[in-house]
């Protein structure tokens, strides 16, 4: 029998992009724009890509990794204030095993010549899954890709 446990973690990432708020927000809100940056690393084959960007809507992204493992991201949109805020909850699976459940808040603020983006996440890592900071590292990597997609 698997030992049941929950380990909690949180982080905040603050970035500034030289693009208008509407463009940065659209990169989260439209399937075409989000597909340019919200994907796994090279070699991961996308198996699912669904986005229903509205309060109560869902997003799902799945991948098949070169080593044969599968991953799944299931997201629910709780709050959307255009060009201001997105609040989601999401769970992550590896090979059908639930590894984490998180609450994420994405905030958008206009700045001189661009957009300040603040991502705050609180997560519960389950049943021995040791995140060891990889969620924050992965989010930073995705936000780098977001910046590249805005150019």
Span 9-34, pLDDT tens digits: 999 999 999 999 999 999 999 999 99
Please report the pLDDT score of residue 133 as a whole number. 87
- Those residues with Cβ within 8 angstroms of residue 28's Cβ, 6 or more apart along the chain or in another chain: 34, 53, 86, 106
% of the chain exceeding 90 in pLDDT: 89
Range of the domain at 25: 6-149
The answer as to whether 84 is a domain residue is yes
- Is there a domain that residue 73 lies in? yes
- For residue 44, pLDDT over 60 is answered with yes
Single pTM value for the model: 0.93
Tokens describing residue 47 = 């198996």
- Does 1 fall in a domain? no
* CATH assignment of the domain containing 118: 3.30.530.20
Per-residue pLDDT, averaged over 55-68, amounts to 97
The Cα 57–Cα 129 span in angstroms is 28
């Amino acid at each position: 029998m698997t030992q049941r446990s929950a380990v909690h973690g949180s982080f905040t990432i603050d970035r500034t992009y030289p693009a208008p708020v509407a463009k940065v927000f659209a990169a989260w809100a439209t399937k075409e724009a989000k597909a340019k940056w919200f994907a796994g690393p090279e070699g991961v084959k996308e198996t699912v890509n669904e986005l229903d960007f509205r309060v109560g809507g869902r997003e799902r992204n799945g991948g098949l990794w070169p080593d044969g493992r599968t991953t799944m991201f299931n997201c629910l949109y709780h709050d959307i204030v255009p060009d201001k805020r997105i609040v989601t909850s999401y769970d992550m699976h590896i090979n059908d095993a639930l590894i984490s459940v998180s609450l994420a808040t994405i905030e958008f603020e206009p700045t001189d010549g661009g957009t300040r983006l603040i991502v705050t996440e609180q997560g519960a890592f389950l049943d021995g899954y040791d995140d060891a900071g990889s969620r924050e590292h992965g989010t930073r990597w995705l936000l780098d890709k977001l910046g590249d997609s805005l150019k």
